Chains A and B, each alone.
Chain A
Amino acid sequence: MGLTAIYLTVREVQFVQQEVVLAMLAKEPSHGYELRARLRQALGPLGDAMNDGQVYVTLARLEKAGLAASEQSAGRPDRPDRKVYALTAAGQQRVAGWLAEVSWPRPDLTEFHLKLIAAAAAGLADPLAIVDTQRRELLRRLRDAQRAALAEPDGSPAGLLLEGIVLRLQADLRWLEACERNWTSHRKDHR
């Protein structure tokens, strides 16, 4: 279990595979297992969550959508997949579009913010207790992500991804400190 279950979700992996598998094919026509190995190297310990079958499912979908085309290759007898996939012209266009796209995951702070407001307004729960619980959770994740990051050698691509996760968690923890200050003074004012 560990990191993989924590940080990668099937939805995310599918996202990774749909768009990224296509972009990785742009380097050269490849077997499914070659793409899988490159993905795993880029993700390091986070790549353990990747379901190996997903790469093949995705390749089949991409082929069906006309974004990739496959050819039977001589292959090796010990490898069951003899298909070599390559980008089609439409696939190349899609990759170019995806690279140019500006997308960024949205931090989902609104729900937590409204949870505190609703809990305080209804007197259902102490907002500070909710903040403490959330902080405990984020600190555990920070510990796990940081240990994994420190275990990566310098310059490892997976280390860079983990560093990003650590920095995000730090930012979230700082926001929780601000929540704590706000709700502490709120409580003092309403005493």
Chain B
Amino acid sequence: MNDVGVPVLRVRGLCKQYGKGEGLVRAVDEVDLDVASGETVAVMGPSGCGKSTLLHLLGGLDRASGGELWLAGQRIDQLGERALARLRRDRVGFIFQAFHLMDELTAAENVELPALLAGRSARWSRRRAAELLERVGLAERAAHLPSALSGGQRQRVAVARALVGDPQLVLADEPTGNLDSQATVEVLRLFEDLHSSGQTLVIVTHDSRIAATADRLITMRDGAFVDETRLTGGSAGNLGALAGLAEPYEQEI
């Protein structure tokens, strides 16, 4: 499935429209995107630019009005409801701004739940959840309810939950949107770790810090991609100094 060169995500001419005639809104307007295996892509833009709608389309949470969508080489925009639900459960991990943890379940139970729903044994699920909570630095909090955790810790539980099924693609919608700056740093560290472990990630956000963990940054305006920036490889060296500093080292000499 993960052939070299086949993008994990491939999007062509994706559209989402609401309303008709004069009231027609193009929330997502002819979007093309390829995300390679192991790549992190961030989509930024003002609120209302369509980035959350786009993420919902990519994860099969919503149906597109037009265009084509492939996950690891398989066309998924034409799947039936049941197949789509299975795909969301088994192959895509979701991370939301508001965490969406079950309040009545402990951290460990929240992480196990998707694995149990996917038909894994209780034993397998428990062990996998323990591994993931360890990885996000919350092994000691496994038995806590979400209400006993800080915002940053809840989001780390949500990240562990997103990873429990070894998803081909993780989609994150404003993962730092509800967090203060200290908790944001915890989540930034975790996303850097996901990235270096080779997880394929798409993040939509207006927080430039989480966007800066990406390899590639796309700017979205009025439903369309208007700018693309590669953040890795190659800007260093000839950059000017930061605001308030003088010319770069080389020029001064």
| A3-B231 contact given A11-B252, A105-B245, A132-B219, CB 8 Å threshold | no
Docked-complex contact A172 and B252, CB < 8 angstroms = no
Which A residues fall within an 8 A CB radius of B?
Answer: 1-12, 49, 105-109, 132, 135-137, 139-144, 146-147, 150, 165-166, 168-170, 172-174, 177, 181
Residue B18, interface by CB 8 Å: no
In the bound complex, what is the Cα–Cα distance between A109 and B243 (angstroms)?
8
In the bound complex, what is the Cα–Cα distance between A147 and B231 (angstroms)?
12
| A5-B213 contact given A10-B253, A165-B242, CB 8 Å threshold | no
Docked-complex contact B237 and A7, CB < 8 angstroms = no
Q: How large is the interface on B (under 10, 10 to 19, 20 to 34, 35 or more residues)?
A: 20 to 34
In the bound complex, what is the Cα–Cα distance between A5 and B236 (angstroms)?
8
Docked-complex contact B229 and A170, CB < 8 angstroms = no
In the bound complex, what is the Cα–Cα distance between A4 and B248 (angstroms)?
10
Main secondary structure of the interface of A (DSSP, over half): helix
Using Cβ atoms and an 8 Å threshold, which residues of chain A touch B237? Answer: 1-2, 5-6
Known: A9-B248, A174-B208. 16 other contacts (CB 8 A): A1-B237, A5-B239, A6-B237, A10-B252, A106-B244, A132-B227, A135-B229, A136-B227, A140-B229, A140-B235, A142-B208, A146-B212, A150-B185, A150-B188, A150-B192, A172-B243
Docked-complex contact B248 and A5, CB < 8 angstroms = yes
Nearest first, the 7 closest Cβ-Cβ pairs linking A and B are A105-B244, A140-B235, A11-B246, A107-B243, A1-B237, A143-B212, A10-B252
